[in-house]
Amino acid sequence: MQATVTSAIVLAAGLGTRLAWLTRQRPKAMMNLAGEPAIVHVIRRLAAQGVRCLAINVHHRAGRIKDALGDGSALGVHIRYSEEERLLDSGGGARKAMELLPQDDTPVLVHNADVLTDLPVRLLARELPQGGGVLGLVPNPPHHPTGDFSCHAGRVGRDFPKPWTFAGISLWHRQVLERWPLGARFPLTECIEACMNDGRCRGVVHHGFWFDIGRPADLFRAGVHLRQRM
């Protein structure tokens, strides 16, 4: 039976250092794309796919995000904020934010705020292994030619070559993140490694729209693409 995905974590606490002066006064998630902040595009896309409860981790210029999004009602979702005085990295940030979501046994989506894509959440849900996680994967972009993972018959590994890059979107059974203590600082790659070691990490390769706006050139290209789609 395919899992229903109604809860998501949006990782928005990064400093955005690769965007240099663009993020001095605002977080990367608030970069303007086709008239709206990047994080608004992310949330609209999630809401359209049935996600209703969001936990957003914030740090740098957190007030800019909270003022713009409020409780999420204007976007058709309910938002709570996980404030990080000390950055907890992607895994630690997701682990802490998960505590703000409804405490049930449904899987939780983890989505980078600086990733724009039309990868359907339902495809991740269809591949989610019991007690594990599933990753969105994309062909290696020019800025990351060596890739992150191999993927054979849906199973993610570290074999050589690595033709796929982690898309910054993943779906997890909650007990995976709960292996780490609340407040610990760790990257999400530790969760991925643990699931790979257990044989419970799968991947969905996406060939459609995908942008990581962490670099000025990609931010510009994403804006052009969104304006054309609109």
Residue type, 206: H
- pLDDT digit string, tens, across residues 17-55: 454 444 455 688 888 888 899 999 999 999 999 999 999
User: What whole-number distance in Å separates Cα of residue 172 and Cα of residue 131?
Assistant: 8
- pLDDT digit string, tens, across residues 87-111: 999 999 999 999 999 999 999 999 9
Is the model's pLDDT at 230 over the cut of 80?
no
Domains and CATH numbers, the chain: 7-229 (3.90.550.10)
Task: Give the three-state DSSP class for 133.
Answer: strand
